[in-house]
Each structure stands twice: as C-alpha cells, then as structure tokens.
C-alpha cells in the first residue's frame, strides 16, 4: 500500500490543482526520506521549480518540472500525499512541500518508509520497472511471454515490480481470485487460457479500483483527505475468515515468500 490504483488516484487528484504551480520551499521533518541529492541540496534545488506535469509509473508518483528534472515519490507501506492543511500539525507528516498559492503538500508516512528523489532523469529511479498492466500496448500475449520466464508462485511474481509495475499484495490477491488461480501456482505452468483470464482479471480489478479512488485499508487517503472505497469491493484481499462471495467457503491466508496471500480454497484450487 499504496499500489497502482492509489497512486493513480493521487496523480489525477493533484494534476487538476498542482500543474503550473511552483514550489517555494520544503520543510524536511524526516530528511532520511530523501535519497538524492543530499537533503540540503534537495531543498535548495527544488525551491522555485514549477510543476509541468504529474505522472505515475508503477507505484511511483512523478512530478515533471519545468527545468527538465523530476521529483519522484514512492510511498512504500504507509505513505500518502495530502493537501489538507490539518496535516501541518499531524505527527505523521514527515515532509512538507510549500507551493506558491499558499498550499502545502504534506507527505504523511507513519512508518517512515517513503522515499523521495530529485533527479535529472526519472529513469534512474523507475527505469527497471516492468510494463504497465493498463498500457494499451501491453497484451495478453505479452503477459504469456513474460510468464514463461518465472517458475516462482504466481502471487510472488505478480508482486515483483520487474514483472509488472504497480501491483502489490491487495490487487494480486484480487486478480488471482477473479481469474480462479491459486496463489501458489507456478507462473510458468499457466495455460494460454489461464494467462488470458489473468490478463483480463488484472485489468478489470485495477480499473475498478481506480474508479473507486483506491483502497483505504490502513493509512492511505486521497489528497483531499477522503478515503478510497475500493476495499468495499474486495472479494479475497483482507477477508480471512469471511465467506467467499461466490461459493461461501471461508477465505484463507497463507504465507508466500514473506507475503500473505488471501484466497478461496474452493474457487482457487491448486491444480
């Protein structure tokens, strides 16, 4: 958290309000979030730079600046970017970006895991990510070709950002449920039909979550402070001990490579 739908929501919400605005300063309450350049240089260089465009790559939010540089943010487990001025005094606000209209962009991050870069080329940060699952150019055939390269459990592979950019625990669970695939299935064992089901499930799950402004399970909220509602549509993720909405079997959770996977043992049989 946040995953692709949450970061896409931030991008869309902020674009209408922040594009064309300029940074007037930065207050670093948690300087260790800044990866490059040094915190002091970061503050000096960002001041006065204007926002040309806001974009997303995987789980990364990218502010493309008028001077050609990019401000890149990764929210890791608990980060969010808020416009609500009440966050100025929130103890979990780690860094504040001051803007020329008097607003503040508050990087709220209870676990202090979020990361920030100011770089001449955004690809130095996001260049190794896999394809975007919602890119029109990414096809089921592409997914099938990529799948042949991996023997690891499909849940683990879906969360590997080198495989697909932007999918994490929640939406991997939801996509596998929608495709009726067990999370422990070896990725390279999927048939062409199963790959096609998974491709369509990934796109549908992500698009529906974006339409519901992402999922607010713990710390995420939209820039205006409102929660996302995608979690109300979840059929497997975070529903351990609850009945499957399709067959009534109790949803289980198993560990897979230091992650948890939620699934229905009846609808998602390991065969």
Active site residue 59: yes
Q: Does the N-terminal peptide bond of residue 37 adopt cis geometry, omega within 30 degrees of 0?
A: yes
Choosing from 2, 153, 183, 223, the catalytic residue is 2
Whole-angstrom CA distances from 213 to 37, 160, 220, 221 are: 32, 23, 11, 9
Distance of CA 86 to the CA centre of its chain: 24
pLDDT score recorded for residue 87: 85
Q: Say whether 223 is catalytic.
A: no
Mean pLDDT by 10 residues, the chain (271 residues): 96 96 97 98 97 98 98 96 88 96 94 97 98 97 95 96 97 98 97 98 98 93 95 97 98 94 97 75
pLDDT at 84 (0 to 100): 80
* Active-site choice (12, 131, 259, 265): 259
- Whole-model pTM: value is 0.96
Q: What is the pLDDT of residue 258?
A: 86
The whole-number pLDDT of residue 68 equals 98
Which pLDDT does position 85 carry in this prediction?
82
Q: Which two tokens stand for residue 125?
A: 């940060």
Whether 11 is a known active-site residue: answer no
Res 219: pLDDT: 87
Distance CA 230, CA 210 (A): 8
59, 108, 155, 185: the active-site residue: 59
Strands (E), 58-169: 60-65, 70-74, 80-82, 93-99, 104-108, 115-119
DSSP 244: P
pLDDT at 65: 98
Residue 2: active-site member: yes
Catalytic residue among 3, 6, 69, 174: 3
Domains of the chain: 4-126 (3.20.190.10), 140-263 (1.10.8.50)
């Amino acid at each position: 958290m946040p995953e692709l739908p949450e970061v896409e929501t931030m991008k869309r919400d902020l674009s209408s309000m922040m594009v064309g605005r300029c940074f007037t300063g930065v207050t670093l309450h948690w300087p260790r979030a800044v990866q490059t350049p040094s915190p002091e240089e970061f503050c000096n260089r960002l001041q006065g730079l204007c926002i040309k465009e806001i974009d997303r790559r995987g789980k990364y939010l990218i502010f493309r600046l008028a001077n050609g540089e990019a401000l890149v943010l990764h929210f890791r487990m608990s980060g969010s970017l808020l416009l609500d001025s009440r966050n100025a005094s929130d103890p979990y606000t780690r860094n504040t970006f001051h803007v020329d209209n008097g607003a503040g962009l508050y990087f709220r991050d209870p676990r202090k895991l979020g990361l920030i870069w100011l770089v001449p080329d955004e690809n130095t940060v996001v260049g190794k990510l896999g394809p975007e699952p919602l890119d029109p150019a990414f096809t089921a055939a592409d997914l099938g070709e990529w799948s042949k390269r991996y023997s690891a459990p499909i849940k683990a592979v879906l969360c590997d950002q080198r495989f697909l950019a932007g999918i994490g625990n929640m939406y991997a669970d939801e996509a596998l449920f929608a495709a009726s695939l067990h999370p422990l299935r070896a990725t390279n064992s999927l048939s062409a039909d199963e790959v096609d089901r998974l491709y369509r499930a990934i796109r549908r799950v992500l698009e529906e979550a974006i339409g519901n402004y992402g999922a607010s399970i713990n710390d995420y909220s939209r820039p205006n402070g409102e929660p996302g509602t995608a979690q109300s549509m979840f059929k497997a993720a975070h529903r351990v001990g609850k009945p499957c909405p399709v067959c009534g079997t109790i949803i289980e959770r198993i560990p897979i490579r230091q992650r948890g996977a939620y699934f229905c043992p009846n609808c998602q049989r390991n065969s």
